[in-house]
Structure 1
């Protein structure tokens, strides 16, 4: 089952490694008086030659990525602290013998069931044996489609992907939205590219599938079965839109009548499928129709036994983390080592903390908030958000390329932002979720049934725009166009992003830039196509739209020129929205900072002026070191630029940065004023 897509999120840090205890972490927060890591800077590098390295060079040289991680840095370390806090909550809940049905009992027993690896080993493959037999017993393509549709209620659906959320042209109405699916590698190029790296990954993938089939008792045919699955997924991949194409909201909005779609895809009985999914509607949103047309054809052109192998592979892959050590090790070899560059698996408790957060998110989030999120943090954060909104309005009013007509509507949209900070005003009800201490796989199914029921009940009801699309402890933030909202979970509202004791330069350079980033997503190349109500509707004059596109193309071209590793280029079109948000967000944050008392002062702290501290805070928030494997994957699929360019791209296009560090025209990365790119 596909959850509602989050637009324009900051990169989610992987689970982290090697943290302090809750007590020492809390003490560290309370006692912190120094907010810049001066020792991590490399002052042999001039700020005008490579500001990212100037701010972080020594840290990068000395930092070793922990063996269980694919990267390390700010997001990871904060996520690590949050994991420790959640671990404390779950340990306490697991040992509390709480009354059945309480929040503590559910999260505690869920966690305990995942930590009980002895029982998991004893059960072996038995948790999915019934499903495997059902697949073996399928006698026709029609039965196979029915089985795939029925499975969504248990979190085990297949063949296609869908979710129920706001109709992007009628944002107050929920709609069933079907999207492309069917691939187990990150995206279609992994199947279709013919370079050596892609071939090696495909070889690793078939080895992984072969191992899964062997563990499932198909030793004799495992290798051939794996090749068959790769072949059919390669055929599916040819129908997929690539990551750049997926960023076009107009191209990916296709409302169709069920009856008309049935004619396009006659081998898919949509009335039966929708009935099994418990969806009552006569229209669908099909984001990528090409995929469904291809699926329709492949269901008839490919033999039933091959499709059954595909369903088995998907089931084994999706269940691997909940099965025995052999399954978990096999999955780690592909997704951890080969694709991400991890050398070791994460500690079990960290995986289980994240699993509880994924499945009982608002139960755990409520407990996290009660213990760790202070009301004064929410109040201070709201002040920052409001200050940046004022600065954003000022910048819009002063734009020399936009007409008054479009400016008026842009300001109306800005002022219509819903601001969500910390945690939801109302928590979701999980009373229907039965959790037991010794049934890990069954607990996952119970959570999936709840999530599916919650989603399906949205059909026919108005959109609940109070809903959160991230859990409270998440180290992240997002803008969601159909809700026209900016959201900052409690998890990110901690150092190095935010500290109530820090001076304004630190907070505005860190969380201020994050706030400005999310606000700017409302006006990036995607977000600008939605009006103040969250509807996909053009509110720009043709003249202003053309000027915006010209300026945005300049940003894309700039980032196209950045390279990493073996001269692999950043994809300027894929990363355009995030780059626009980074550039706009930093400018807005700086303008807001300059309205503060410190922003109008020149008193140095730690040897740096307020303006210098602002830019250094921004740069040190983005100090992340990635494995080569992870970076290679990110350059293909991640809409966020590598961190070095998330820092250098914005600062070298800001006059305030040049003034703050007195950057001469002879500096390596100096950009003449007339060549600097900016939209907002």
Structure 2
């Protein structure tokens, strides 16, 4: 259901102006000459500003803490495309899937019907909870809520088996809390106490809306927070999830059924449709605690907790009192949002949450022409070949590492548009009368399809991103490049542009991602899909030497719009290395095209690269990004790699004495 976002960081900037009094002779003094305007950027002084001059003039930040960028505009376009598709599906659906999506969309946009429906859609769920009488009734209710996409008490879902990357197993993990961090329940500082007081108010609002009587409200709210606190006390810190291996603990499912009898784990798996005998449970202490709580806490306390969890999960999809309560706490307080999103955006988010693969299927069919698909695959293959050739003739990688890298690249798959998988689109008819009801129908369908993956050797048939979401990424577990349908449009792959532009944009992004197959992260998984470092100590040292030098280069760059702040070269090191690799590899692939022999073609290639990173940040956004982003700001993503490219200097006739070209002996290279 709704995903909890991290707490928003509020940045308040005070601007002060000082005025100095004129002295007695001020009127006699000569006026200071007006400052001369800064000279216009040239290709050799600041290529980013030169290449993006028109875009930078036409685009300004629209809010005090916002940003605007070329890639952000593409993401906005993808949202509008989804909206247009759903409008068509609502009025003239083509096929069963579009009929389902059109009804789902219409039911969410019809606010009068949403208000009239109130909380009727969750009444059956609440009725089942109200029927709990004894401890043995609690686990079946937990299992039933998981089945409709409302995980309570804990989380359970499929993921890669770290011992066999082509396989999925079920992971039992911590969850069941109304707040995003278990430490909120255990810290005693004043700020946390204040947050918990606000959370208690939110719990009361949701309980009231789900039918709790006033006389019972205070006691039930305390029961909810007490149970969640007990769960939090047995949960791990969020930092423990940084290493997937620390949370991988395969165990026989039959053993869990015997060990956690009061939680009825065997029956839980059956209800989810899971028959596989191996699951992962990395925090048995939590489940031992839950097993104990089922038996020792009064059923009435569990009933209050489950009622709240249902209302909390479904609040964004119900009537206005639910939505207002959820936004006041999660939106305004936790996420720092000033106002709710437009209604259409909330409904679209809901559809992507519950029926995202359905929408992705239709999106690709409408917005990804076969010619674009073929062109993307062809360029990606050329870049992969360029990387293989450059690895072979490179000087810093050992012979052993080169052999393993070649195996990985030979086996590396390129997947464009949509994942290679078949889903069962058999879904209960939705209709247009209940948005909340449709949300539960779609969530039940998606949960069913997710559970089918457990125990299957079909991990390569699934993506962790939807086709309608712009994404281009290297999947280290499956050794593949993933390019979504939404990514294959301007400015990434514009079919109306020439080859030079397409290589400079899409080709360079592909090179960036493919470099991860054989870089400091890619070396952790070998060609057979085994977690194992295949670099020698000398390879590590050679990579680190280049990384350190590139970090030092970026350390000298001023962060745009932040006086006195520099780019953090260490924080952005890995992505800067990949940007350098991306430009090198894309240019190598482009060099096989006739346009690469012309000055015009060479210049178009580099101008296209710079155009990807056009952005305008407010002061507040720039401050936050400088502290947290692992990418350099757009100006230096564009310029940073180019100062190391002899071909760029030749294309624009930039000498080594200019800002945009290092002396040949100082230039850094990865794969050229």
TM-score by length of 2: 0.76
Match of 2:150 among 156, 164, 168: 156
Match of 1:428 among 423, 428, 447: 423
Deviation at 1:617, TM superposition (A): 2.5
Write the deviation string for residues 168-217 of structure 1: whole angstroms up to 9, x where unpaired.
32123332223443455555687789999988876765654454345445
- Report the Cα distance in structure 1 between the residues aligned to 2:631 and 2:289, rounded to whole angstroms: 35
Matched, 1:356 2:356: no
Matched, 1:293 2:285: yes
Matched, 1:119 2:113: yes
Q: 2:176, 2:231 within 8 Å by CA — same for their partners in 1?
A: no
Q: 1:71, 1:627 within 8 Å by CA — same for their partners in 2?
A: no
Write the deviation string for residues 372-397 of structure 1: whole angstroms up to 9, x where unpaired.
32221112112210121122112322
Deviation at 1:660, TM superposition (A): 6.3
Q: Equivalences for 1:82-101 in 2 at 5 Å?
A: 82-96=78-92
Q: 1:521, 1:577 within 8 Å by CA — same for their partners in 2?
A: no
Matched, 1:176 2:167: no
Q: 1:113, 1:438 within 8 Å by CA — same for their partners in 2?
A: yes
Matched, 1:497 2:489: no
Deviation at 1:461, TM superposition (A): 3.3
Counterpart for residue 9 of structure 1 = none
Deviation at 1:505, TM superposition (A): 3.6
Q: Equivalences for 1:184-199 in 2 at 5 Å?
A: 184=178
Counterpart for residue 76 of structure 2 = 80
Q: 1:322, 1:441 within 8 Å by CA — same for their partners in 2?
A: yes
- Which range moves more in the overlay, 444-453 or 299-308? 299-308
Write the deviation string for residues 278-308 of structure 1: whole angstroms up to 9, x where unpaired.
322333234xx24x42453477589667665
- Report the Cα distance in structure 1 between the residues aligned to 2:562 and 2:210, rounded to whole angstroms: 39
Q: 2:504, 2:605 within 8 Å by CA — same for their partners in 1?
A: no
- Report the Cα distance in structure 1 between the residues aligned to 2:393 and 2:286, rounded to whole angstroms: 49
Structure 1 or 2, whichever has the larger Rg, is 2
Write the deviation string for residues 315-354 of structure 1: whole angstroms up to 9, x where unpaired.
3232122111232233334544455554443332333344
Match of 2:327 among 326, 332, 337: 332
Q: 2:562, 2:619 within 8 Å by CA — same for their partners in 1?
A: no
- Report the Cα distance in structure 2 between the residues aligned to 1:230 and 1:550, rounded to whole angstroms: 53
- Report the Cα distance in structure 2 between the residues aligned to 1:647 and 1:197, rounded to whole angstroms: 41
Deviation at 1:545, TM superposition (A): 5.1
Q: Residue 613 of structure 2: SS of its match in structure 1?
A: helix
- Report the Cα distance in structure 2 between the residues aligned to 1:264 and 1:498, rounded to whole angstroms: 54
Are the structure 2 counterparts of residues 458 and 367 from structure 1 closer, same or farther at C-alpha, using a change threshold of 3 Å? closer
Mind listing any 5+ residue stretches in structure 2 that lack a counterpart? 4-37
Are the structure 2 counterparts of residues 115 and 193 from structure 1 closer, same or farther at C-alpha, using a change threshold of 3 Å? same
- Which range moves more in the overlay, 510-519 or 590-599? 590-599
Write the deviation string for residues 137-160 of structure 1: whole angstroms up to 9, x where unpaired.
556666544432332211112222
Are the structure 2 counterparts of residues 281 and 568 from structure 1 closer, same or farther at C-alpha, using a change threshold of 3 Å? farther
- Report the Cα distance in structure 1 between the residues aligned to 2:162 and 2:487, rounded to whole angstroms: 28
Q: 1:166, 1:174 within 8 Å by CA — same for their partners in 2?
A: yes
Counterpart for residue 619 of structure 1 = 613
- Which range moves more in the overlay, 419-428 or 228-237? 228-237
- Which range moves more in the overlay, 354-363 or 187-196? 187-196
Q: Residue 175 of structure 1: SS of its match in structure 2?
A: strand
- Which range moves more in the overlay, 214-223 or 326-335? 214-223
Q: Residue 409 of structure 2: SS of its match in structure 1?
A: helix
TM-score by length of 1: 0.76
Counterpart for residue 12 of structure 1 = none
- Report the Cα distance in structure 1 between the residues aligned to 2:161 and 2:536, rounded to whole angstroms: 24
Q: Equivalences for 1:591-606 in 2 at 5 Å?
A: 591-603=588-600
Are the structure 2 counterparts of residues 624 and 254 from structure 1 closer, same or farther at C-alpha, using a change threshold of 3 Å? farther
Write the deviation string for residues 397-429 of structure 1: whole angstroms up to 9, x where unpaired.
233332111111112111212211123566533
- Report the Cα distance in structure 2 between the residues aligned to 1:83 and 1:182, rounded to whole angstroms: 31
Matched, 1:317 2:323: no
Are the structure 2 counterparts of residues 178 and 93 from structure 1 closer, same or farther at C-alpha, using a change threshold of 3 Å? same
Q: Equivalences for 1:142-291 in 2 at 5 Å?
A: 143-184=137-178, 208-216=202-210, 221=217, 225=221, 229=225, 232=228, 236=232, 239-242=235-238, 246-258=241-253, 270-286=265-281, 289-290=282-283
RMSD between aligned alpha carbons?
Answer: 4.8
Matched, 1:408 2:403: yes
- Report the Cα distance in structure 2 between the residues aligned to 1:568 and 1:190, rounded to whole angstroms: 33
Are the structure 2 counterparts of residues 240 and 345 from structure 1 closer, same or farther at C-alpha, using a change threshold of 3 Å? same
Are the structure 2 counterparts of residues 458 and 583 from structure 1 closer, same or farther at C-alpha, using a change threshold of 3 Å? same
Q: Residue 411 of structure 1: SS of its match in structure 2?
A: helix
Matched, 1:442 2:437: yes
Q: Equivalences for 1:547-586 in 2 at 5 Å?
A: 548=543, 578=575, 580-586=577-583
Counterpart for residue 587 of structure 1 = 584
Q: Residue 246 of structure 2: SS of its match in structure 1?
A: coil
Counterpart for residue 392 of structure 2 = 397
- Report the Cα distance in structure 2 between the residues aligned to 1:678 and 1:191, rounded to whole angstroms: 48
Counterpart for residue 532 of structure 1 = 527
Q: Equivalences for 1:452-463 in 2 at 5 Å?
A: 452-463=447-458
Q: Residue 483 of structure 1: SS of its match in structure 2?
A: coil
Mind listing any 5+ residue stretches in structure 1 that lack a counterpart? 4-41
Write the deviation string for residues 530-571 of structure 1: whole angstroms up to 9, x where unpaired.
233444344444553565567668878988999898999999
Deviation at 1:475, TM superposition (A): 1.6
Q: 1:163, 1:176 within 8 Å by CA — same for their partners in 2?
A: yes
Q: 2:360, 2:466 within 8 Å by CA — same for their partners in 1?
A: yes
Are the structure 2 counterparts of residues 678 and 413 from structure 1 closer, same or farther at C-alpha, using a change threshold of 3 Å? same
Q: Residue 492 of structure 2: SS of its match in structure 1?
A: coil
Q: 1:473, 1:490 within 8 Å by CA — same for their partners in 2?
A: yes
- Report the Cα distance in structure 1 between the residues aligned to 2:667 and 2:78, rounded to whole angstroms: 42
- Report the Cα distance in structure 2 between the residues aligned to 1:62 and 1:144, rounded to whole angstroms: 59
- Report the Cα distance in structure 2 between the residues aligned to 1:456 and 1:96, rounded to whole angstroms: 32
Q: 1:107, 1:364 within 8 Å by CA — same for their partners in 2?
A: yes
Write the deviation string for residues 488-531 of structure 1: whole angstroms up to 9, x where unpaired.
12211111111112133432232222212332333344443223
Aligned residues: 630
Q: Residue 461 of structure 2: SS of its match in structure 1?
A: coil
